[in-house]
Chains A and B, each alone.
Chain A
Amino acid sequence: RKEVEQDPGPFNVPEGATVAFNCTYSNSASQSFFWYRQDCRKEPKLLMSVYSSGNEDGRFTAQLNRASQYISLLIRDSKLSDSATYLCVVNKGSARQLTFGSGTQLTVLP
């Protein structure tokens, strides 16, 4: 089983739609969780950290479910500029470095 698994997509949604991505992780000792965004031919950029209580940043909501070992990202009222690949990132337990999922590709259509 991969350490971090994501549905690769692609997700093609119309503008204004709500879209959700899930990500599962295998190491129950993982402590830090993030969502990164990567545009085509660019570097990954931090979108948001994921906290146990869940957190929201504008149109973006991230949630963590430790019992089931998954994190989620919800994007409301999607914009054309949200088109990108979204990477789920988990720290590798006691080894402490970050492990990236393979990414979920989102295209928001006009």
Chain B
Amino acid sequence: DAGVIQSPRHEVTEMGQEVTLRCKPISGHNSLFWYRQTMMRGLELLIYFNNNVPIDDSGMPEDRFSAKMPNASFSTLKIQPSEPRDSAVYFCASSLKPNTEAFFGQGTRLTVV
């Protein structure tokens, strides 16, 4: 079975550039989560969707970050403009429904120079 698929796996970009991260959740899962992981702050929830609708985006650090889920099989996380402090591993995860176990993609390692 295909798990959560994220692309790209690695991204190196210059400060000020736009970055788009992509995620395909597990088929049939209704909840999708974007997390960011750094050494300093651990795993932080950025935003979560249920049935393609954003439910809680309180973790999105600032207006430079935006996320969309146009359909049940695709989501994007966009950073515009990117800054060096955005360097982190970004994980997408999906679950069958809220409160159940989440399954993670392999992550996108973002480096902003």
Residue positions of A touching B, CB distance < 8 A: 31-32, 34, 42-46, 49, 87, 91, 95-103
Contacts and interface: CB of A to CB of B under 8 A. Distances in A.
A86 B20 CA distance: 30
A95 B98 CA distance: 9
Interface in B63-84: none
Which of A45, A95, A97, A99 is most buried by chain B, counting CB atoms within 10 A of its CB? A97
A82 B71 CA distance: 38
Interface stretch (B11-19, B21-29, B100-108): B100-108
Q: Could you tell me the dominant secondary structure of chain B's interface residues?
A: strand
Contact of A32 (B48, B55, B99, B107): B99
A28 B103 CA distance: 25
B43 interface: yes
B43 A91 contact: no
Contact of A43 (B48, B55, B56, B105): B105
A103 B31 CA distance: 23
A101 B42 CA distance: 8
Interface in B33-78: 33, 35, 42-43, 45, 48, 55-56
Contacts of A44: 43, 91, 104
